[in-house]
Amino acid sequence: MSKNEKDIPRHLPPKGSKTQDQELLYDPNVRTPSHAEQARTLVSKMATATLCTMSIEPTGYPYGSFVTYALNKGNPIFLISGLAEHTKNLEEDSKSSLLVAEAGEGNPLALGRVTLMGDCKRLGEGDRKRVREIFLSKNPDSKFYIDFKDFFFYQLEVSEIRYIGGFGRMSWVTDEQWFQAEPDPMIPYANDIIEHMNDDHADSMVLYCKAMSKATDTSSAVMTQIDRYGFEMSANTSEGPRPIRLAFNNEVSNADEARKELVSLVKKARKLLK
């Protein structure tokens, strides 16, 4: 199997025992973030992860530890104590990986996660001032120990990336794709928009589904995700909950732009249903 994400389409019909249950209820060619973009977005919005190093005691076993991190041009940086087991492991063998998992409700295996692999090495004192500010901006609580003499900055030089976006959404992302991808600009606004739409505009989402997808028997719907290209919903149909994705007419980068696109789509949906 190719390691290139383009060989693995994101919008596959859900697996099921009946053919009619497998039909995708929206356009599979709808614009959506690439796996590289989704991976960068997930890693950018999280600040904690599991760092796996090669244990020196006992020898040769993967050793997992909970860490905080920040991104330095796509490479995770850590502030870790010289006394920590993972620090001792890294000094012996720089091979490591970082597992970043999305938080959320429901089945945890349906949520996104990214594994970054590469060599993790201690940064020199010349880099400390610059990465100090990057790390502090992402992890403000570190101000209490960031200048301790026995804490050091390490950086994982990413060379391999595995993205899993839930069931049926997975691929190897190349390092070139990883470093070229940009985090979604809607990260700071997404949760508030989703909450607002679900609390105050449930009727609009039913309109979206009925007018702009094959889920014409939608009885209710909730927004589950929003990004620069569009948004996703879970529509309650006669066959149970089904995913629906719709694209914006214009790419968005903030809450006001997203609001205008959502209003525009409501107007379009009303016209289509007349």
Region 128-157: mean pLDDT is 96
| Contact yes or no for 34/181 (Cβ under 8 A) | yes
Given a cut of 60, whether residue 27 has pLDDT beyond it is: yes
* Residue 155: φ, ψ to 5°: -130, 130
- Tokens 């995913």 locate to 243
Tens of pLDDT, residue by residue over 34-74, are 999 999 999 999 999 999 999 999 999 999 999 999 999 99
Pick the CATH number of 186-272 from 1.10.287.3510, 3.40.50.1450, 3.30.70.420, 3.20.180.10: 3.20.180.10
Region 245-271: mean pLDDT is 97
Q: What is the pLDDT of residue 10?
A: 39
Per-residue confidence at 7, pLDDT binned at 50, 70, 90?
very low
Architecture of domain 39-180: Roll (2.30)
Q: What is the pLDDT of residue 22?
A: 55
Given a cut of 60, whether residue 20 has pLDDT beyond it is: no
The rounded percent of the chain whose pLDDT value lies above 70 is 92
Task: Locate the domains of the chain by residue range.
Answer: 39-180, 186-272
Q: What is the pLDDT of residue 109?
A: 85
Tens of pLDDT, residue by residue over 194-212, are 999 999 999 999 999 999 9
Given a cut of 60, whether residue 14 has pLDDT beyond it is: no
pLDDT, the chain, mean:
91
Given a cut of 90, whether residue 25 has pLDDT beyond it is: yes
Tens of pLDDT, residue by residue over 87-124, are 999 999 999 999 999 988 778 888 899 999 999 999 99
Q: What is the pLDDT of residue 153?
A: 97
Q: What is the pLDDT of residue 168?
A: 78
Per-residue confidence at 213, pLDDT binned at 50, 70, 90?
very high
Given a cut of 70, whether residue 128 has pLDDT beyond it is: yes
14 vs 44 pLDDT, higher one: 44
Q: What is the pTM of this model?
A: 0.86
